[in-house]
Structure 1
Amino acid sequence: MLFYLVRHGQTDWNRAGKIQGTTDIPLNETGRQQAEQLATVLKERSGYPAKTRIDAVYASPLARAFQTAEILAKEGKLPLRRLTGLRERDFGCWEGKSWQQVEAEYPDEFHLWREQPMVGIPSGGESRKSCEARSERAIRQILEETAGDAVIVAHGGILVFLMNYLLRFHRDPQEIIVANASLSVVSYDRSTGMGKLLALNETGTLEQKKSF
């Protein structure tokens, strides 16, 4: 099966360089245009809605992801399902601030988070262990519910955790910057539990590809 992994389109906080976390910021106009463009890319890649094997679009309940998913689902006439486990990591008191502000206001926390990501936790926020565990529960639920392919619309860090699970990697979200409204594709063999990365960070054109 194929997993089409999508990061939400741009928000005003993305543009301003602010940490969003679980703060529910909607898409801005650029983000909506990005999602519409991505729907075309996804359509060309998957061939939907004609002879589609895509069972459903799964999305984080946060507005920026769900609005992106609505545009993709509408284009392909696909079922759209909210999945709480796909929501972004809770960054606690860091939310609404830039990374520079966080480093200045919470220097010890920030440097621990950068140097030991499995240990560092944003003040009042969620641990990586907790976030990664619920991401894995979410992907297992999707595997149980689908027979064909699936589109997943979520957040940068969550998508890295999903790729870790599917590809048996151990990358940290700080290592891989997933672009707004980008498409990554993983081929997954249910019988072996092994995945293969087919595309990473595709945006406007099918030729724009990167790899780990």
Structure 2
Amino acid sequence: MRLVLIRHGQSGNNVIWEQTGSSVGRHPDTPLTDRGHDQARRLAAAIADGALPWRIDAIYTSLMTRAVQTAAPIANALDLPLHPLDIFETSGPFEEDAESGDRSPYPGASRSELLALSERLQLADDVDEQGWWRGEVELLDAVLDRAKAAIAAVRERHPADATLALVTHGHFTQYLLMAFLRIERIGGWITIDNTAVTLLEEDPRWPDSPNAVRINSTPHLSDAERTT
């Protein structure tokens, strides 16, 4: 199995963090900025033009708005459906009280809102006009298990030689890397830029040696166009 991990393009919350160093004023399901949309379009064109060493067989996406907005042009460029997967950002969608910092669950975009972002989405019946998220605010102790479950799910659905794109988030990418490489604890942070591509591979000849082929690659962007 080969995984192409793709972080979403620049979002409104990314800009707030970059400018203020805090989350005050964040949106619980922030969309892409104009720059983020441009990054996503550039990535889609680069993938369609053969920038990756592998051909993508299927695309999975987080249902957070910024991820679907990033996945949509890629799916259009490759003429593939978009499959939802629980690869949303750590903690899940949440609202945050500006004064106390307390977090409460947010249901996410509605079915009609999601399909307006991409008609290629293959939504389950339980994604309705009330949103897609029914859980509580996720505890960090549960995140690695979710990453492991996501990888196990796509492994079960596809042949061993499939290449699967996962459109996800910067923090959750850390856990997907840990899950794929069988790392239970990591002491630092791996920088993942907006729309960066990370390539992971399992070679059946060496089943116990999963490989991170490429991390945080942005061949579709100049240095000036890269954002975090």
Paired residues of 2:144 and 2:178 also in contact (CA < 8 A): no
1:89 and 2:104 correspond: no
Question: Could you tell me whether the CA contact under 8 Å between 2:144 and 2:179 is conserved in 1?
Answer: no
Question: 1:177-188 alignment to 2 at 5 Å?
Answer: 177-188=191-202
The answer on 1:35 being equivalent to 2:44 is no
Displacement of 1:46 = 3.5
TM-score by length of 1: 0.72
Partner of 1:145: 157
| Partner deviation per Cα, 1:115-154 (whole Å, 9 max, x = no partner) | xxxxxxxxx8422221221121111101111221100000
- For 1:30-88, what per-residue CA distance to the aligned partner results, in whole angstroms no more than 9, with x for missing partners? 1110011112333323378xxx4x221100010000111111111111221011x2111
Where do 1:94-109 residues align within 5 Å?
95=96
Letter of the structure 2 residue corresponding to residue 144 of structure 1? E
Distance 1:194 1:41, change over 3 A: farther
Aligned equivalent of 1:189: 203
Among 136, 145, 148, the residue aligned to 1:133: 145
Question: 2:73 is matched with which residue: 71, 74, 99?
Answer: 71
Secondary structure of the 1:75 match is helix
- Structure 2: runs of 5 or more not aligned: 103-135, 224-228
Is the 1:69–1:153 contact (alpha carbons within 8 Å) kept by the matching residues of 2?
yes
Instruction: Decide whether the 8 Å contact of 2:13 with 2:26 is kept in 1.
Output: no
- Which residue of structure 2 aligns with residue 46 of structure 1? 52
TM-score normalised by length of structure 2: 0.68
Whether 2:30 is the aligned partner of 1:25: answer yes
Alignment of 1:155-170 (within 5 A): 155-170=169-184
**Is the 1:22–1:89 Cα contact (8 Å) retained in structure 2?**
no
- Give distance in 1, aligned partners of 2:185 and 2:192: 12
Contact preservation (8 Å) 1:22, 1:90: no
SS in structure 1 at match of 2:3 = strand
Where do 5+ consecutive residues of structure 1 fail to align? 107-123
The CA distance in 2 between the partners of 1:12 and 1:22, in whole Å, is: 8
Question: Is the Cα contact below 8 Å between 2:9 and 2:32 reproduced in 1?
Answer: yes
Q: Which amino acid in the other structure matches residue 12 of structure 1?
A: G
Give the number of the structure whose residues are more often helix, by fraction.
1
% identity of equivalent residues: 28
Q: How many residues align?
A: 181
Kindly report the root-mean-square deviation, in angstroms, between the aligned alpha carbons of the 2 structures: 3.2
